[in-house]
Structure 1
Amino acid sequence: MMRRFSLGQRLTLLFILLLMLCAAVACAVQLWVSTQYGNAMVQRLSGGVAQQIARHEPILDAQGNVDRRALRPLFDRLMTFNPSVELYVISPDGDLLADGAPPGHIQRQKIAIAPVQAFLGGAPMPVLGDDPRSQHQKVFSATPLRQEGVLKGYLYIILQGEESNALAAMAWRQALWSTALWSLLLVALFGLLAGLLAWYWVTRPVKQLTAEVAGQENITAIKALAAQPLQPADGNEVAQLRNTFIGLARKIATQWDQLADSDRQRREFIATLSHDLRTPLTSLLGYLETLSLKATSLTPQEQQHYLATAMRQGQKVRHLSQQLFELARLEYGGIKPQRERFAMGELVSDVAQKFELTARTRELNLHIDVPGPLPQVFADVSMIERVMTNLLDNAIRHTPVGGEIRLTVWQENAQLQVEVADSGTGVDAALRDDLFQRPSVLNPQASRENRGGLGLLIVKRMLELHGGGIRLMESVSGARFRFFVPL
C-alpha cells in the first residue's frame, strides 16, 4: 500500500501521524496532571472536614458503639448540605460500620486501611483511598474516632461522590471532545505545513535530481552531468546524493574515454599489424609466384636466392604471429607466472652465454656486472629469462660492430634492479613516449625496425604480472633499459 504513495505523500503522512501521536500523548499527560492537581486541591481544601464533623456531631454512642439507624439521618443531612461528599464509619480494620448510601449502591464492605493511616500521617497529597460505592480509588478525608483514648474506628469521607463524579465526567467529556477537535484541527494545519515544507525542501529537490539523472540516456548527457560543479553538501543529503551522481558520471565519462581510446588503439594496432603482415606476405607471394612462372628460365642460383628470400619473409610472418599470440595470452590472462625462488645473477649469466657467440661474431663486447651475494627472487624463471633475452636481442641488433653491451644487477630496497645498456644508435626521441604501447599505423616514425617488434610490449606485460616494471633511462649514447622485480 505504501508503495503507491510518493515520497512527499509518505513524509506528509508520517508528519501527521507523529503530530497525532504527540497530540494524544500531550492530551493524556494534561488530563492526568489536571486530575492529580484537582484531587490534591480538593483534598487540601477539604482534608479537615472529617475532623470538624467528628468534633461537632455525635458519631459514637455512650458505649462507644456505632448505631447505623441513628447515623443515617445525620449522614443524609450532611450530604444534603454538600452533595459531593459521602460519609462512612469504618472499623480500625477497615470494615464498613455505617453509611448513608441508598440501598444497592455499596460495592465493597471493607476498605484498605493503609491509605487512611498514610493520610493521617501527613503523606503528600493526593492520597487516594477505596471508594465503597465503586471499585475505584478517590480522594478522602478521615479522622479517628476515640473514646477514652481507645480507637473505635474512623470517620471516612469520600470528597468526590457519585454525583460529583457524574458531573465531572460530563465536564471532562465536553472538554475532551473540544480538545480532540482542536487537536485534530491543529494536526491537520501543521501536517499541511509540514507537507509543504517537505515538498519544498525534500521532495522537490529529489524530483529534480531524479529527472536530471533519468535523462542520462547517452554519453553526451552523462558528460554534461559530469561537467557540472559540485555543490556544498554540509549536512544536505540531497546535495550529497547529487554530488555522488556527478562523481559517478565523471567516472563513467572517464571510463568511456578510456574505452574509446582503447578501441582506437585496438583499431590502429590491427591496422598496423595488417600493414606489417602484408609487407612480408606480399614479398613472399611475389617470390613464390616468380618461381612458379619462371621456373624453367631461372638459373639454379636465382632459384636458390628467391627461395631464401621467401623463407626469410615467411620467418618474419611466423615470428610476428607468435608474438601476437603470446601478447594476446598475456593481456587476457591466458598465461600465469609459475613462481619459484632462484638467483637472478645465475640467470643473467646463463642468458649472456646464449648470446656470447653472436656477440663475438659481431665483434661486440658483452660485460656482466653482478655484485654479490644477492637475495633470491620469487618469480617465473622462464618469463624473466624471456625478458632479458628480448632486451639483449634488441641491444645486439641495434649495436654496431665493435660496440659494447653491459648487463648490471643490483638490489634496491625490496627489489632487484636489472639494467641492459648498449652503445648503439639509441631510441629516437619521437618514439620514447610510445615505446611500450601498442604500435599505431598513424605514427609514420613507429616502424617495426625502430621499435623492435612487439618484444618490448610483451616484456612490459610479463613484468607487470610479477608486480614489476620497465622504463627507458636517459643515456648519453645508445639505449639503456632498466627493469625491476620484487623480491
Structure 2
Amino acid sequence: MNLPWHWTLARRLSAVFVVLLLTCSSVSIWLQVAASGRYEQEVTQRLSRGLAEHIASNAELVRGDGLNDAAVKALFEQLMAVNPSVEVYLLNTEGRIAAQAAPPGHIKRDRVDLAPVRQLLAGAPLPIMGDDPRGETDRKVFSAAPLRVRGRNVGYVYVVLSGEEREALVANAAESSVLRTLLWSMGLVVFLGTLAGVAAFRLITKPLRELTNTVQRFERDGMASLQQAVPTLDRLATDERGEISALAQAFRQMTQRIAEQWRELTAQDQQRRELFANVSHDLRTPLTSLHGYLETLLMKADTLSVADRHRYLEIALGQSRKVGRLAQELFELARLEYGVVKPDKERFALADLVQDVFQKFELAAEARRQRLVPQISHGLPVVNADLGMIERVLTNLLDNAIRHTPEGGQVVVRLLSEGTGVRVEVSDTGPGIPKELQSVIFRRPAFASGGERGGGLGLMIVQRILQLHGSDIRLVSADGCGAVFSFELE
C-alpha cells in the first residue's frame, strides 16, 4: 500500500489502522460464516444420520433377488416431496448411481466416491462431505446406509442432505433483512472503531506534533526560537511517554549543546577580532618605527654622522627583530590552533630541562642585574611529554618574566611534587597582571595602558601546548609577588 508521504504520522497510523480493522473485520465475518456453516452441516448430518438406514430398511425396495424399481422411484419421489432439502440416490457396490428421482438433465456425474461413505459408516468425526451427483465438483453432507438383499450387500442408499432447493433457499436468505442487519452492524462497528482509532492516534501523536513544530521553528528561525522552545521541550522531556519523551530530551540536550557552541563560536569570533586588532597594533608600532628610521637614513644619508647612521640602523634592526618574532609566534600559534603539531612524548627529568633553559637566559638576566632562582624539590618523578614543546613553554614564561621584571629583581622557577607528576611555578617580582586583563590573558593578546604589564601571543602558545599535553596553565594570585604562573605535568 503506497501512502502519500506528505501525510502526517497520525494520518498514516489512522490509514493503517483502518486497513487493519477492515481486514480483521472481513476475516472475522468470513470465519463466523464458515464456522456457522460447518456447525450447521454437522448438526444436519448428525440429526439425519439414520435417514438412509431407515430408507434401506423398507422391504418394498427389494423384489426377489433384485430391486423393485417402481417402488424405489415412488419412495424417492415421496421423500423428496415431503422434504425438498434432501436428494435420495441408490448406489451399487462400486458407487455408480443405480436409481434416482432427479429431474432430467440435473445429474452431472454418474458415480459417487465411496470413501466418505465408508468413513461415515465407520463412525468418523462429523461433518463428512461427500460427492453431490447434481454438481461436478460440489461436496455436501450426506447420510448413507448399506442396502442388503438376503444378507448380501447389493449397494448403498445415499441421501444428500443439502439439495438444490435448499441451496436456493439459502442463497435467497442471504439477501434477507437479517443478513443486511448483520452487515450494517459490522459496518457500524468498523466506523466507530475507525473514529476511536483516529482520535486515539491523534492524542498519542500530539506530543510528537509539538516536538515537530518546535524543530521546524528552530530550523526556520534559528537560535532566536530556542528561548520559546525551552518550556515545551521541558514539558515533553519530563512527560512519561516513552520514546517521545526520550526524543524530546535528546533534542533539548542537542539544542543546549548548539546554544553553548553558538556562544563559544561568538566568543571565539570576538576573540579573533580582538586578536587581529591587537596584533595589528603590535605590528604597527615597530613597523612605523622601522619605516621612520629607514626613511630618515635615506633622506639624511649625506648629513648624518657615522655614529648616528649606526644608531639608526641598530634601532631599525631591533624593530625588525620584533616584527620577525611576532610573525614567528603567529605562525606557531596558527599551527597549534589547527592541530598541525602533535606532541612526540618521551620520559625525561624536568629539573634538567629547567637548568638548560636557565643557561639560555643567563646573559639577558645579568644585563638587567636580575637573578634566576631554581627551587627544585628532591625526588621528583620523571615526566612524559614532548621535550621540545615543554622547553618552548619554559622559554616563553621565562622570557615574559625577565622582560617585565625591573632591574635588580628575580625570577623563580619552582618544581614541586604533585601526586604522580610535577607542578611547575614561574614567578617574578614585576608589576603583575592588571585585574582587567587576568580573565582574558590566555585567550587573546592584551595590552595594558600606562606601561603596565599585559599578555602577548607567548602565553597563548603556552596554553595551547599544555592543552595538547592534557594540562593547562593558571595565573596564581600572589600579593606583592608579581605574576605567578603554574601548570602540572605527569
**Cα distance in 2 between the residues matched to 1:149 and 1:454:** 126
**Cα distance in 2 between the residues matched to 1:66 and 1:427:** 137
With over 3 angstroms needed to count, the CA separation of the structure-2 counterparts of 1:119 and 1:247, relative to structure 1, is same
1:316 Cα offset (Å): 2.0
Count of aligned pairs between the two proteins: 478
**Cα distance in 2 between the residues matched to 1:295 and 1:365:** 43
With over 3 angstroms needed to count, the CA separation of the structure-2 counterparts of 1:418 and 1:251, relative to structure 1, is closer
Match of 2:260 in 1: 254
* Helix, strand or coil at the partner of 2:103: coil
Q: Could you list the per-position Cα deviations for residues 338-388 of structure 1 after superposition, in whole angstroms to 9, with x for gaps in the alignment? A: 6253524454454344334545664524437486695673x5443232122
2:235 partner amino acid: Q
Match of 2:400 in 1: 394
- 1:231 equivalent to 2:235? Answer yes
**Cα distance in 1 between the residues matched to 2:485 and 2:6:** 67
**Cα distance in 2 between the residues matched to 1:280 and 1:182:** 97
Match of 2:56 in 1: 54
With over 3 angstroms needed to count, the CA separation of the structure-2 counterparts of 1:389 and 1:237, relative to structure 1, is same
**Cα distance in 1 between the residues matched to 2:327 and 2:252:** 45
1:291 Cα offset (Å): 4.7
- 1:417 equivalent to 2:417? Answer no
Of the three residues 381, 384, 388, the one matched with 2:390 is: 384
1:426 Cα offset (Å): 7.2
1:436 Cα offset (Å): 1.4
Comparing 249-258 and 319-328, the one that deviates more: 249-258
1:303 Cα offset (Å): 4.4
**Cα distance in 1 between the residues matched to 2:353 and 2:68:** 126
Match of 1:367 in 2: 374
1:30 partner amino acid: Q
Of the three residues 459, 469, 473, the one matched with 1:470 is: 473
1:485 Cα offset (Å): 5.0
Q: Could you list the per-position Cα deviations for residues 196-231 of structure 1 after superposition, in whole angstroms to 9, with x for gaps in the alignment? A: 665566479738953882485444632333443422
Contact 2:86 2:160 in 1 (8 A): yes
Correspondences of 1:278-289 after superposition (within 5 Å): 278-289=284-295
With over 3 angstroms needed to count, the CA separation of the structure-2 counterparts of 1:320 and 1:370, relative to structure 1, is same
Contact 1:87 1:158 in 2 (8 A): yes
1:30 Cα offset (Å): 1.5
* Helix, strand or coil at the partner of 1:6: coil
Match of 1:325 in 2: 331
Of the three residues 455, 458, 462, the one matched with 2:458 is: 455
* Helix, strand or coil at the partner of 2:18: helix
1:23 partner amino acid: S
With over 3 angstroms needed to count, the CA separation of the structure-2 counterparts of 1:424 and 1:68, relative to structure 1, is farther
**Cα distance in 2 between the residues matched to 1:19 and 1:289:** 95
With over 3 angstroms needed to count, the CA separation of the structure-2 counterparts of 1:108 and 1:201, relative to structure 1, is same
Match of 1:343 in 2: 348
- 1:105 equivalent to 2:106? Answer yes
Match of 2:485 in 1: 481
Contact 1:50 1:143 in 2 (8 A): yes
1:120 partner amino acid: L
Contact 1:419 1:480 in 2 (8 A): no
- 1:271 equivalent to 2:277? Answer yes
* Helix, strand or coil at the partner of 2:84: coil
Match of 1:126 in 2: 127
* Helix, strand or coil at the partner of 2:174: helix
With over 3 angstroms needed to count, the CA separation of the structure-2 counterparts of 1:293 and 1:360, relative to structure 1, is closer
Correspondences of 1:75-154 after superposition (within 5 Å): 75-91=76-92, 94-134=95-135, 135-146=137-148, 150-154=152-156
Contact 1:421 1:481 in 2 (8 A): yes
**Cα distance in 1 between the residues matched to 2:17 and 2:225:** 36
With over 3 angstroms needed to count, the CA separation of the structure-2 counterparts of 1:292 and 1:341, relative to structure 1, is same
**Cα distance in 1 between the residues matched to 2:283 and 2:183:** 91
**Cα distance in 2 between the residues matched to 1:5 and 1:35:** 45
**Cα distance in 2 between the residues matched to 1:95 and 1:231:** 82
Q: Could you list the per-position Cα deviations for residues 260-313 of structure 1 after superposition, in whole angstroms to 9, with x for gaps in the alignment? A: 222222222222222222333333344445555566665554444444333323
**Cα distance in 1 between the residues matched to 2:141 and 2:188:** 35
**Cα distance in 2 between the residues matched to 1:80 and 1:448:** 131
Contact 1:142 1:155 in 2 (8 A): yes
2:28 partner amino acid: A
1:39 Cα offset (Å): 1.1
Contact 1:144 1:154 in 2 (8 A): yes
**Cα distance in 1 between the residues matched to 2:392 and 2:21:** 77
**Cα distance in 2 between the residues matched to 1:457 and 1:5:** 53
Match of 1:312 in 2: 318
1:55 partner amino acid: S
* Helix, strand or coil at the partner of 2:141: strand
TM-score when normalising by structure 2: 0.81
**Cα distance in 1 between the residues matched to 2:253 and 2:327:** 43
With over 3 angstroms needed to count, the CA separation of the structure-2 counterparts of 1:5 and 1:479, relative to structure 1, is closer
1:424 partner amino acid: T
Unpaired runs of at least 5, structure 1: none
Match of 1:37 in 2: 39
1:159 Cα offset (Å): 1.0
With over 3 angstroms needed to count, the CA separation of the structure-2 counterparts of 1:375 and 1:169, relative to structure 1, is farther
2:262 partner amino acid: W
TM-score when normalising by structure 1: 0.81
Unpaired runs of at least 5, structure 2: none
Contact 2:434 2:452 in 1 (8 A): no
1:35 Cα offset (Å): 0.4
Of the three residues 14, 19, 25, the one matched with 1:17 is: 19
Contact 1:469 1:484 in 2 (8 A): yes
**Cα distance in 2 between the residues matched to 1:62 and 1:369:** 139
Task: With a CA cutoff of 8 Å and minimum separation of 6, indicate the structure with the bigger relative contact order.
Answer: 1
Give % identity: 39
1:462 partner amino acid: I
Q: Could you list the per-position Cα deviations for residues 327-348 of structure 1 after superposition, in whole angstroms to 9, with x for gaps in the alignment? A: 1232133x32262535244544
**Cα distance in 2 between the residues matched to 1:92 and 1:470:** 111
With over 3 angstroms needed to count, the CA separation of the structure-2 counterparts of 1:156 and 1:288, relative to structure 1, is same
* Helix, strand or coil at the partner of 1:231: helix
2:120 partner amino acid: F
* Helix, strand or coil at the partner of 2:235: coil
With over 3 angstroms needed to count, the CA separation of the structure-2 counterparts of 1:211 and 1:67, relative to structure 1, is farther
Alpha-carbon RMSD across the aligned residues, in angstroms, is 3.9
Contact 2:445 2:455 in 1 (8 A): no
Q: Could you list the per-position Cα deviations for residues 229-261 of structure 1 after superposition, in whole angstroms to 9, with x for gaps in the alignment? A: 422332276676666655554444333322222
With over 3 angstroms needed to count, the CA separation of the structure-2 counterparts of 1:276 and 1:358, relative to structure 1, is closer
